[in-house]
Structure 1
Amino acid sequence: MGLDILSNVRADGTSLLGHSMKSLSHFPVRCSLAVALCALLLAGCERAVFNPAGDIARQQRDLIVISTGLMLLIIVPVMVLIVVFAWRYRKGKGGTYDPNFDHSTTLELAIWSAPLLIIIALGALTWSSTHLLDPFRPLDRKATALEGKAQNSQALRVQVVSLDWKWLFIYPDLGIATVNDLVLPIDREVRFDITSSNMMNTFYAPTMAGMIYAMPGMQSTLHAALDRPVDSFGLSGNYSGAGFSGMRFRIRGVTDQQFAGWVNGARASGRSLDTATYLRLVKPSERVPSMLFSVGDKDLFRRIVERCVEPGKPCMGDVMAKDMGHGGGHGTMPPGRGSAPPHGDKPEGAIFKSPEEKGTGANVTKPTDPRKAPGVTKPGDDANRNMT
């Protein structure tokens, strides 16, 4: 009878059993295609975070791996025990049901001690890495690949400016600048001074170091180094508008000889980065190709930070200094809460002034003549008790 059911013929004359077997025959093929598609998609993923070219990026990668491993110590056993408990205590099978069970010291210790130990380990790891990976902290040569290099070599300074939607890199000590092209010598410490033209962004060089915010009117700092030749990429990690997706730059780690040749090529590029050129660059543009400049204005970065690149616009430092020196009376800003009085002497509080000195106004009671005030010469007069 079972064979009769399985061999029932459909209206179109095909067997149900045959149709099912035919579908199953295609299952391995479909699985293989799905696996191949997933592998193809994963092949396009960038693995820059797990392929570091510098000691800072390497420590950050290890931090991610260790933290993930510590958290999996809880996640994996919980997922396994869910399946074990569901199978062991399934209906009609498994362990003994005890309706009076309400507490187990062993079970409580197992449930709470493991997460507590992991939280303590993560807390210690976070505290130590926060100090060791402080971006403002210069690199420790003994703890990095820079040990044994020239101890008197100064860090290479690179000034980073986030524009819409491109990156400007200024090498102030070398007199050159680039757009969307960051070239660095390997085995040399680099100090990045980071700011933004008008919108908050994130400077992210995954093969070299972590993400550092670039904010208008402020300057951030990052110390890092490359310890091997690399040709990678950097990007903005903070959404900043229409051109955000194309806001990427090239990172190249080269030898000292190659770096010197590249610097000479930038100086001979025929283009100079001055105020007029910067004001053209600051205009929004997308997917800008790399450009090389010689630097004609060595004070440009400071004026970008203080937001006074445009001719005639006062710098924030000058405005604040004038405000502090003159109490805001002769500056462009109103006096602050803690500003000095304009005439140099601290004004006397109203509580110490006589009624005549206070004067009158909408919120000041008109002073009265003490000789005409009722009750002042009669201590027992009811007017002395009038609190209204």
Structure 2
Amino acid sequence: MRLRLLAAGLIGAVTLAGCSEGVLSPQGPVASAERQILFNSLGIMLAIVIPTILATLGVAFWFRSSNWRAHYTPDFEYSGRLELLVWSIPIMTVILVGGVAWIGSYDLDPRKPIASDVRPVRVQVVSLDWKWLFIYPDQGLASVNQLTIPVGAPVSFELTSSGVMNSFFVPQLGGQIYTMAGMVTRLHLQADHAGTYRGLSANFSGDGFADMRFAVDAVSPTAFSQWVKATRDAGPMLDAQAYADLARPSEAVASFTYRDIAPDLFNHIQSFAAQPNDPSRLADQTSQRTVK
């Protein structure tokens, strides 16, 4: 018995420890609201699950063979009261859970900007095989498998894919959303606390999927400005040819940065994503527009 209790305790501790970097440990307003929807839905469902379990145990106890007061009624067919009870409670539960989920999800529309007095930071995201490219158009720089954002500032994402569909997900900040070739999806997130959070692809995309992860560094506004300045002073330039090299499939890519980016590169990537096997065409087109 002791061993069973110890094993159960260890399993529970391991399970709860896994929540320290997941959706149950939110670090931003979107993730906090998503967790609240989860808890509200769970509470409503427990309101029917727990009475049902207790009723099942109560019926089994009352109709035990040793209880001579329990009457055996083999001819029982219908009871309006029981029908009302059996159908009304599940219907009310579905309505409540659906209402909570619908209203909460509507308020968390990914395209809806986060209300704030702080100017949003724009980040353009490109999912590649098998890595993430983050372009900062206002700062004129880019990074691979590393997303640095200021604490307390909304982040406005534009997301696309260079080829196959992927799913951008930072569990502690919320807002899982798909990236698709030739399309742009939008997402708004915010980090309320400094720290390093886990980002990943939540959609299988091939051999290198397991290593398609990135770090989200939420830093103070001052530290973010220092990071921008340091990035501008080091690293290569992300022009069309550098992007063509980056777009080639590769696995377990270490994070690095680009000090400068080609003009309007994200829109060029989105426009030519339908030809992922012909990156040279993107390079030629971007070079021509840059010369003009």
- Is residue 77 of structure 1 aligned with residue 51 of structure 2? yes
Three-state SS of the structure 2 residue aligned to 1:45 is helix
The alpha carbon displacement at 1:124 in A equals 1.9
* Larger relative strand fraction: 2
Q: Residues of 2 paired with 1:312 and 1:247: CA distance?
A: 26
Q: Residues of 2 paired with 1:259 and 1:244: CA distance?
A: 29
Q: Which residue of 2 aligns with 1:236?
A: 201
Asked if 2 retains the 8 angstrom alpha-carbon contact of 1:166 and 1:247, the reply is yes
Asked if 2 retains the 8 angstrom alpha-carbon contact of 1:135 and 1:223, the reply is yes
Query: Do the aligned partners of residues 250 and 115 (structure 1) sit closer, same or farther apart at CA in structure 2, a change above 3 Å counting?
Result: same
* C-alpha distance after superposition, 1:320-368 (max 9, x if no partner): xxxxxxxxxxxxxxxxxxxxxxxxxxxxxxxxxxxxxxxxxxxxxxxxx
The alpha carbon displacement at 1:79 in A equals 2.2
The alpha carbon displacement at 1:36 in A equals 5.4
Query: Do the aligned partners of residues 36 and 123 (structure 1) sit closer, same or farther apart at CA in structure 2, a change above 3 Å counting?
Result: closer
Q: Look up the equivalent residue of 1:31 and give its one-letter code.
A: R
Q: TM-score, normalised by structure 1?
A: 0.67
The alpha carbon displacement at 1:176 in A equals 0.9
Give ranges in structure 2 of 5+ residues lacking alignment: 286-292
Choose the corresponding residue for 1:297, options 241, 250, 262.
262
* C-alpha distance after superposition, 1:119-163 (max 9, x if no partner): 121222233123211111112x2xxxx4xxxx3x43211001111
Q: Residues of 2 paired with 1:79 and 1:71: CA distance?
A: 12
Query: Do the aligned partners of residues 43 and 127 (structure 1) sit closer, same or farther apart at CA in structure 2, a change above 3 Å counting?
Result: closer
Aligned ranges for residues 40-59 of structure 1 at < 5 Å?
41-42=14-15, 45-47=18-20, 48-59=22-33
Q: Which residue of 2 aligns with 1:60?
A: 34
The alpha carbon displacement at 1:92 in A equals 4.4
Three-state SS of the structure 1 residue aligned to 2:58 is helix
Give ranges in structure 1 of 5+ residues lacking alignment: 1-26, 316-388
Q: Look up the equivalent residue of 2:70 and give its one-letter code.
A: G
- Is residue 136 of structure 1 aligned with residue 105 of structure 2? no
Three-state SS of the structure 1 residue aligned to 2:259 is strand
Q: Which residue of 1 aligns with 2:91?
A: 116
Q: Look up the equivalent residue of 1:65 and give its one-letter code.
A: F
Choose the corresponding residue for 1:38, options 3, 7, 11.
11
Q: Which residue of 2 aligns with 1:270?
A: 235
Aligned ranges for residues 283-362 of structure 1 at < 5 Å?
283-307=248-272, 310-312=279-281
* C-alpha distance after superposition, 1:229-271 (max 9, x if no partner): 1211111111111111111111111111000011111111231
CA-atom RMSD in angstroms: 2.1
Larger Rg: 1
Asked if 2 retains the 8 angstrom alpha-carbon contact of 1:53 and 1:230, the reply is no
Q: TM-score, normalised by structure 2?
A: 0.88
Q: Comparing both chains, which one has the higher relative contact order based on Cα–Cα distances under 8 Å and sequence gaps of 6 or more?
A: 2
Q: Look up the equivalent residue of 1:205 and give its one-letter code.
A: V
Instruction: Figure out how many residues of one structure are paired with residues of the other and give that number.
Output: 278
Three-state SS of the structure 1 residue aligned to 2:59 is helix
Asked if 1 retains the 8 angstrom alpha-carbon contact of 2:19 and 2:25, the reply is no
Q: Which residue of 1 aligns with 2:162?
A: 197
Three-state SS of the structure 2 residue aligned to 1:161 is strand
The alpha carbon displacement at 1:40 in A equals 5.7
